Chain A
């Protein structure tokens, strides 16, 4: 825990976004995580992405479960709405919130323990429903908050801090999500913001649920030799599925002609992929799953935007709900009275 709050230094040189805000306007409380925790870098990347997209903080809703990762929603966008739910229920709470107000930008932050163990079912159904949100998993292979037990993302044979090897097969959230209809799956690394920030920005612009698995080393319990989620391991075993130029930027000129794939996004912007391996197609679900499996078998960590499909409607579109937030629908329309209810029930008889 730092001895002081990060001071507000009145520098005239701070950059400003389209709203006239500085990056400092996207900060939250001081982090209480361990010094060097990858999660703090993910938080910094999220702030950067929100700042660069000029999203007003009060238009953001932050949701989380339980874990060190889930604590991080307190550390950015202090002016935003937020709900720190119970263990594993972030996707559930998010579904309700999104149903009630489709106008906010939803950012869910969860952990590998939170999402892949207790919350696995909730995650799966949020993916199936394609609720419109950025869903970040700070993936460190352990339950950090409860002192470093293996989580469901730990690889077979990777060792704990004391040297004990994990015996159980890992759940790869990207494979899981792809297998149940996910429309946007990506993996980042907390130690590489240059590539993480564009992924988060693309996720924030996506039409439905954007699942971003971020390898985020637990510096306290899982950054040793024998870990496959350490800073060093990821740096030595990372392969990129894609590298891509962030959306909402007209820098197409910089993109090499060969191997570039432009994917129009729902909000009118474009995503430009630079496929790194020859012939990799981030719109081909089966190929993406194949690639993930293949690389994992080689002991490599695939990063980049692995799969995206902007053609699938989100939950609101599928359900035909009103354009505006339910919260703004006049009360007499939202609750048209006992007679209407009786009529409705009659129609089911």
Chain B
């Protein structure tokens, strides 16, 4: 196999599983170490640089980093990355003087952002410090988007949301509340230098079954996201005793838990498919079930039962699924009584306000045609991001789209091609402090994942906005930070120094190193077979004495540094990898790479 090019930042980036999985490339191990040192301000700012909303995301993030976490492959449970983010946010002091600021002098360019959700706010966050004038149009009288209107306050307290959105607005956004945009043409006519569409995916899907429109008077059939919004704005304060929620995604989880707080007693979430095929995140399911919400699987709604103009129940087919839950057969039918039904079966994009003759092309499902790298639409100067771009995703994707869109807008406004993008860079710095001394805690800690404590069931329903998760205690934090394997402290190898003594091979606690004849896979004979082809395989240059190669399977390396400690020639070194992520207006990253030790 060809020797690995470790000067490509992509190689080591992939080793940092969490950072690789995070859409915004949050430097997780770095902020966890900072928390371990009690440097909460710094930990917060490391987060904010990439994900912009650490306190919000520390409570609500979809956390794609966690299933990717190396620790999961070691002891079965990932580091509680998201909870630790909240620790950094909760325990930070006043960081206001370290936040980005808009310059005195603007650069004369005007940007319109449609919507005041996380996507638009991130665009403003990235562009205001560069001197742009950002005008933001929001149909409601308050910002935050779905984070405000749909994520219930028992998961995300208003104060937390206010604080982090206000930081950006206070940088100098010209925010126009109560201003629904009804015509894109009108916006374009105002002569903005660029327009960012961050209007989300605002339409909840309907379920057009018999009986849907038969109710007389108040409807007891609700569209999940609209219903949650009505709660957020105080328009809805109660619900009937027997509630059926159709759908088993994250919206359904928020609906059932909200129902519980508004007076629902007998709450059932109805799933078409068996467990294991639910869309909801495992932790959201767990939290809902803790609140005694029942989940009923293999039921497909067929009819709303309306008697005397009043909803009394829903009729369902009972399904049986094949393995893999691809095909079902109906094996029976049942009517479940109810007072209310909440439909939580998905969201759609809707752009009735974008005129079809402007040059903004739309594809299937009314989704705009958007370049996945530049976030530009087919009309130059008009960019999309967040749920508006490719349909509903989540906050962290909205943030990442917006970073990319901001970079494009900056290029666009300078008359540069938007496709020409700054590359990723890296810094590699030795962590060696002395003989067997490192600037990070290299020992493996066998602590198990800490469980988040919740407010007691009896207390949490008292008010709609009692935050359920208590956050980690100091003790839990101290234990959890030790579980991080410092995947960013990389094993860096220099083949010319190696004398092939085997010391590193023998000491490695996970058998991930091999010295062997260079062959293409599967001929490559490894000390422990490779079980995860998604993980990097490092191949060195030929070794001086025998011409064999050093091979490292990155999969389960615990970054303990023992290979480097036992190497007599410092051919291995533990080097801290810093991914340099390009942002709008930041000068091109410098690549600085240190070499191994003195005995060269």
Bound pair (A, B) = yes
B447 to chain A, nearest CB (A): 12
**A319 at interface (Cβ–Cβ under 8 A)?**
no
**A114 at interface (Cβ–Cβ under 8 A)?**
no
Contacting pair A2 B565 (CB below 8 A) = yes
**B277 at interface (Cβ–Cβ under 8 A)?**
no
Contacting pair A231 B545 (CB below 8 A) = yes
**B3 at interface (Cβ–Cβ under 8 A)?**
no
Which chain A residue shows the least CB distance to B434? A3
**A278 at interface (Cβ–Cβ under 8 A)?**
no
Interface residues of A in 10-40 (CB under 8 A from B): 10-11, 13, 34-38, 40
**B278 at interface (Cβ–Cβ under 8 A)?**
no
Contacting pair A4 B568 (CB below 8 A) = no
**A65 at interface (Cβ–Cβ under 8 A)?**
no
Total residues of chain A contacting the partner, CB 8 A: 29
**A8 at interface (Cβ–Cβ under 8 A)?**
yes
B89 to chain A, nearest CB (A): 31
Contacting pair B510 A4 (CB below 8 A) = no
**B502 at interface (Cβ–Cβ under 8 A)?**
yes
Whole-angstrom CA separation of A44 from B499 in the bound complex: 17
A9-B509 contact given A2-B436, A191-B502, CB 8 Å threshold: yes
Contacting pair A10 B74 (CB below 8 A) = yes
Q: Give the one of A4, A6, A34, A232 with max B CB within 10 A.
A: A4
Whole-angstrom CA separation of A12 from B425 in the bound complex: 36
Q: Which residues of A contact B506 (CB under 8 A)?
A: 40-41, 43-44
Whole-angstrom CA separation of A232 from B544 in the bound complex: 10
Residue interface bits B520-532, CB-to-A below 8 A is 1, else 0: 0000000011010
CB contact between B560 and one of A7, A35, A38, A191 (< 8 Å): that residue: A7
Which chain B residue shows the least CB distance to A48? B506
Contacting pair B562 A217 (CB below 8 A) = no
Q: Which residues of A contact B566 (CB under 8 A)?
A: 2, 35-36, 40
Q: Which residues of B contact A290 (CB under 8 A)?
A: none
Interface residues of B in 543-566 (CB under 8 A from A): 545-546, 556, 558, 560-562, 565-566
Contacting pair B503 A7 (CB below 8 A) = no
CB contact between B562 and one of A4, A8, A41, A235 (< 8 Å): that residue: A4
Whole-angstrom CA separation of A216 from B380 in the bound complex: 69
Contacting pair A9 B510 (CB below 8 A) = yes
Which chain A residue shows the least CB distance to B531? A13
Contacting pair A38 B501 (CB below 8 A) = yes
Q: Which residues of B contact A217 (CB under 8 A)?
A: 501
**B438 at interface (Cβ–Cβ under 8 A)?**
yes
A11-B510 contact given A6-B562, A35-B566, A36-B568, CB 8 Å threshold: yes
Contacting pair B565 A41 (CB below 8 A) = no
Whole-angstrom CA separation of A316 from B506 in the bound complex: 37
Contacting pair A4 B443 (CB below 8 A) = yes
Q: Which residues of B contact A35 (CB under 8 A)?
A: 503, 565-568
Which chain A residue shows the least CB distance to B568? A36
A235-B545 contact given A4-B442, A7-B444, A35-B565, CB 8 Å threshold: yes
Contacting pair A191 B558 (CB below 8 A) = no
Residue interface bits A156-169, CB-to-B below 8 A is 1, else 0: 00000000000000
Contacting pair A7 B443 (CB below 8 A) = yes
Whole-angstrom CA separation of A185 from B505 in the bound complex: 28
**B569 at interface (Cβ–Cβ under 8 A)?**
yes
Q: Which residues of A contact B560 (CB under 8 A)?
A: 4, 7
Contacting pair A36 B569 (CB below 8 A) = yes
Q: Which residues of A contact B569 (CB under 8 A)?
A: 36
**A243 at interface (Cβ–Cβ under 8 A)?**
no
Total residues of chain B contacting the partner, CB 8 A: 34
Q: Which residues of B contact A37 (CB under 8 A)?
A: 501, 503
Q: Give the one of A3, A41, A219 with max B CB within 10 A.
A: A3
B463 to chain A, nearest CB (A): 43
**A223 at interface (Cβ–Cβ under 8 A)?**
yes
Contacting pair B565 A3 (CB below 8 A) = yes
A41-B444 contact given A2-B507, A9-B558, A11-B510, CB 8 Å threshold: no
Contacting pair B436 A36 (CB below 8 A) = no
A223-B499 contact given A4-B443, A4-B560, A8-B509, CB 8 Å threshold: yes
Q: Which residues of B contact A8 (CB under 8 A)?
A: 446, 509
**A95 at interface (Cβ–Cβ under 8 A)?**
no
Which chain A residue shows the least CB distance to B529? A13
**B107 at interface (Cβ–Cβ under 8 A)?**
no
Q: Which residues of A contact B568 (CB under 8 A)?
A: 34-36, 219
Q: Give the one of B437, B506, B545, B556 with max A CB within 10 A.
A: B506
Whole-angstrom CA separation of A6 from B511 in the bound complex: 12
Contacting pair A13 B528 (CB below 8 A) = yes
Contacting pair A7 B558 (CB below 8 A) = yes
Which chain B residue shows the least CB distance to A47? B506
CB contact between B503 and one of A6, A13, A41 (< 8 Å): that residue: A41
Contacting pair B502 A44 (CB below 8 A) = yes
Whole-angstrom CA separation of A37 from B345 in the bound complex: 64
Q: Which residues of A contact B558 (CB under 8 A)?
A: 7, 9
**B42 at interface (Cβ–Cβ under 8 A)?**
no
Contacting pair B74 A11 (CB below 8 A) = yes
Interface residues of A in 284-334 (CB under 8 A from B): none
A9-B562 contact given A2-B436, A191-B500, CB 8 Å threshold: no
Q: Which residues of A contact B307 (CB under 8 A)?
A: none
Q: Which residues of B contact A193 (CB under 8 A)?
A: 502
**A190 at interface (Cβ–Cβ under 8 A)?**
yes
Contacting pair B509 A231 (CB below 8 A) = no
CB contact between A6 and one of B501, B509, B528, B545 (< 8 Å): that residue: B509
B556 to chain A, nearest CB (A): 6
Contacting pair B438 A36 (CB below 8 A) = no
**A344 at interface (Cβ–Cβ under 8 A)?**
no
A235-B503 contact given A8-B509, A9-B510, A9-B558, CB 8 Å threshold: no
Whole-angstrom CA separation of A6 from B561 in the bound complex: 10
Whole-angstrom CA separation of A40 from B558 in the bound complex: 22
Whole-angstrom CA separation of A312 from B443 in the bound complex: 51
**A1 at interface (Cβ–Cβ under 8 A)?**
yes
Q: Which residues of A contact B567 (CB under 8 A)?
A: 35-36
Contacting pair B436 A1 (CB below 8 A) = yes
A97 to chain B, nearest CB (A): 28
**B75 at interface (Cβ–Cβ under 8 A)?**
yes
Contacting pair A232 B545 (CB below 8 A) = yes
Whole-angstrom CA separation of A57 from B438 in the bound complex: 35
Q: Which residues of A contact B438 (CB under 8 A)?
A: 3
Which chain B residue shows the least CB distance to A7? B444
Q: Which residues of A contact B546 (CB under 8 A)?
A: 235
A231-B556 contact given A9-B510, A10-B75, CB 8 Å threshold: no
Whole-angstrom CA separation of A44 from B515 in the bound complex: 15
Interface residues of A in 171-223 (CB under 8 A from B): 190-191, 193, 217, 219, 223
Whole-angstrom CA separation of A231 from B442 in the bound complex: 30
Whole-angstrom CA separation of A190 from B500 in the bound complex: 10
Whole-angstrom CA separation of A191 from B568 in the bound complex: 14
B67 to chain A, nearest CB (A): 17
Q: Which residues of A contact B446 (CB under 8 A)?
A: 7-8, 10
Which chain A residue shows the least CB distance to B558? A9
A240 to chain B, nearest CB (A): 15
Interface residues of B in 376-414 (CB under 8 A from A): none
A11-B507 contact given A3-B437, A232-B499, CB 8 Å threshold: no
Extra inter-chain contacts (4) besides given A7-B443, A9-B509, CB under 8 Å: A3-B437, A8-B509, A43-B506, A190-B502
A to B CB contacts below 8 Å, 24 in the list: A3-B436, A3-B565, A4-B442, A4-B443, A4-B444, A4-B562, A6-B507, A7-B444, A9-B444, A9-B509, A13-B528, A13-B529, A35-B503, A36-B503, A36-B567, A40-B566, A41-B501, A41-B506, A43-B506, A217-B501, A231-B500, A232-B545, A235-B500, A235-B545
Closest 7 CB pairs of A and B: A36-B568, A7-B444, A44-B506, A3-B436, A36-B501, A4-B443, A41-B502
